[in-house]
A and B are shown apart, each in its own frame.
Chain A
Amino acid sequence: MRDVWLQVAQVLTVIALAPLLQGVILQWEERVQRARGPGIFQPYRDLWKLFHKQGVVPHSASFIYWIAPIVAFTCMLTVPILIPVLTDFPLPESDMGDILGGGLILTLGSFFITLAGLDSGSAYGGIGSSRAVMLAILAEPTLILVFVGITLLAKAMLPFVVNHLLVAQPAVYWSPAHLFLVAAFFILLLVETDRLPIHSSTHIEVYMIDEARILEYSGPLLALLKWASMMKQFILYTIFCNVLLLPWGLSRRGAALGALAAAGALFAKFLLVALTVVFVETAQSRLRYYRYQEPLAVSFLLAVLAIVANQLR
C-alpha cells in the first residue's frame, strides 16, 4: 500500500516541481545576461493565468487540435511511473515499460504536438513541426543507440538495474563506456529540451524550433501543452541524473521522510545539470539551423564509442 502511495507521490512530484525547474533555468539565463529575470515561480503564475483565460480556437482546427494537449499531458503523467524518481527500488506498475518503452511514450507525446502544429495550417506551425521532425530524424536513432548502450552496460533494460550497477561498482561508473554515454545523453538532453544553441530564448519566431508548434494554442489547452513540455524536461533530467549521472540520493526503504529527502536531493542534482545547460546555451552564439547535425553527429559517435568500449571492458 505504501508503495502505491510512493508511486502516486512520484507522479505528483513531477507535476508539481516541473514548472519550478523551468523557472530556475529561465531565471538563470536572464541573470547570466545581466537582466533581472522574472523570478523562479513565474511559470506557476503563467499556468494559473492561462487556466483562467478563454481559449480561442482557429476555424481550421480538427479533432487533433483538441486531443493533442491531452495526449501529451497524459504521456508525461505515465512516464514517471517507469523511472526511478524518488526510490531506487521498483514500485508497482514500473515494469509496464522498460527504457525503450519510456522513450516511446515520450516520443508519442511529442509526435502529437507535431501533428497539432501542422493541423491549424498556419505557417509558423508548419515551420516548427518540420524543424522538430528534422531534429528528431537524427536524434531518435541516437537516443535509441544510447539506450542500447545503457542496456549493454547493465545487461538489463530496466533503469533500476542500471542505477544499482552504477552505485555498487565505481569501476563501471568511471569506465569510458559510461562516460561516453553521459556525454552523448547530455547532448540529446539539450536537443530534446530545446536548448540547442540554435534557437533563441527570446520569443522570435525565426529561431523557434519546438515553441513554434504551439503558437496557435491559447487558454487552458496552452497551459496543458506548456506543462507537458516542462514535465518532459523534468523527466529527461530525472533519467539523466537518477539513472546515469548521479544515481545516489534515492530513497532505499521508502519511508516518508526518505521520499521527501529524495525529492530535495533530486532538485539539488537538477540544479547542477541546469547550471551546465545554462552555461552551454549562453556561452555559444546562435548557430545556423543546419548546423544541428554537428552536435547530433558527435552524440552518435559517442554512443557508438560507448558501445564499442563496453564490449571491450
Chain B
Amino acid sequence: MVPILLGVILLAPLGAVIGCLGIRHPRFVELLNLAAAVSVFLAVLVLLPLALAGPYLFWGGYLIVDPLSAWVLLSVASVYLLASIYAIGYMRSSPDRDLYRFYALFAGFGLTTLAGPLMNNVGVYWIAIELTTLVSTFLVCFELGRESIEAAWKYIVIVSGGISLALLGIIFYYWGGSLIVGATYDLTWAMLRHVAPQVDHTIGLMSFLLVFIGFGTKVGLAPMHTWLPDAHSEGPAPVSAMLSGALLNTAMVGIVRFIQVSDAAQLGLMPRTVVVSIGALSLFVAALFITRQTGIKRLMAYSSVEHMGVMALGFGFGGPLGVAGALYHMLGHSLNKSLMFFGAGNAMHVFHSKRIGRMHRVLSRMPVSGLLWLAGAVAITGAPPFGLFPGEFTILRAGLAGPNGWAALIMLILLIVIFVGFLNHFRAMYFGHAMKPRDETRHVPDRSAAERHEPLSGWCLVPMWLALIPLLVLGLWWPQSFMHYFSAIATELSMGGSP
C-alpha cells in the first residue's frame, strides 16, 4: 500500500510537469495541476496513519517514510492543494502569458518540495533542496520586472551560498564518521546516527553548526533571512504561499534530523542553545521589521520569519512538548500563511498596489475575502481560538521547563510585540481613515473603472475558506490521534534513533 501511495505522491506532480509542457492549452494545464494536487493530498491523507507503523525504506534505502516525513508531507500537500486552487483564479486575472510555463514550474516546485522529506540519503536531500531553489527562482521572477528579477537574483545567490555551507557540514560529518567506520558507508540519516556517539566532538559540533547555518539560510532564520522578504513578496501570490508554507518546512526537516544526529552524538548543551538563540533572534528581527513595514507581502514574509523562529525554538527546546508544539505549529502555519497570502493577493488585485498605505476600507471593497483575511490576521499573531495558539503555548511550556527558559520569556515578549505591530497594520487597512487628498492625486488611474470593481473569482475565495476552517478546528480541538502521532515522532527524535 505504501509504495503505491509514494508513487502517487511523486509521480502525479511529475506527470503534471510533463503534461503541462506537452499540451499547452491554458485550461488544460490548470486542471492538470489541480488534479495532481488533489491526488497528492488524498494520497498523503491515506499515508498519514500508515506511516505510524515505523520507518519504511524504499528504492534501496533512498526513500524513507516515517512519521516526521509524513507529517511534513501533510503540510506541504495541503499548501500545494490550496495554492493550486488559488492559482487558477489568480493567474487568470493576470495577462495570459504562457500559463503552461507557470504550471509546469509550479508542479515541478511541488514535486521537489514533496521529495525533500522523503529523502533518506543526506546528499540527495541536499540536492533536492538545491533543486527547489532553482525551480522557485524562476517562479519568483515569473512576472518579469526590475524588482522581481532583483528578488530572484538575491534569492538564488544567498541561498546557494548558504546551502553550500550545509554541504560542507555534511562532508565534515561524513569524514568524522569515516575515521571510525571506514572509507565508504551509506550517507543515510540512520547511518549518521549510528556513528554519532564515536565521532570526535569537535567535528560533530562544527558540522552541526555548519549544517544548521546552511539549512537555516533556506529556512529563513535570522540573520540569514535577507533573501526571504524579497523573494516572498515579489512572486505571484500562490508562489509566495508555496514558498512560505511548504518550502520552509521541507528545509526544516533537514535541521530537525540533524538535531537528532547531534543528540545521538551527545555534544552537550551547545547545539540546542544555538538553535534556540537563532530562533529568538529571528523573532526579534521579525518583530522589528513587522512594526515598521510598508509592503503587504513583505509583512507576510517577515511573519514567516517569525514563525520559523518559533518552530526553531520548539525544536530546540525539544522533548515531547516542544516537538509536539512545533509540529502542530507547522501545520497551522502552513494553512494560515496560505490564507494570508491569498488575502494579500486579493487585496493587491482590488487595490492595484502592494503598499499598505494604499489599502483603505478593505471590508467595503472585498467583504467576504476581507473578513476571512482579518480572521487570518488574528490567527497568525497567535491569538485563540485559532490553531497557532495551542502550538505556541505548548512550545512556551516546553521552553520554561527546559534549560533555556530565557528564550521562552523573550519569545513571549516578542510575540506580544508582533501581535501589536501586525494587527496595527490591519487596523489601519480596515478601520483607518480614508486617503488624504494629496495621495489621491498621486494615485495613477491606469485601469478602467470596470476592471477596478471586477469581483474576485470563486477560485480565489474557496481556498481561503478551506484554509480557515481547519485552522479554527485545530484551535478548538487538539485531536488525540495527533498527540499520539507527535509523541511517536518525539520519541524517535529524542532517543536519537529510530525505533
Q: Do any beta carbons of A and B sit within 8 angstroms of each other in the complex?
A: no
Chain B residues in the interface with A (C-beta under 8 A): none
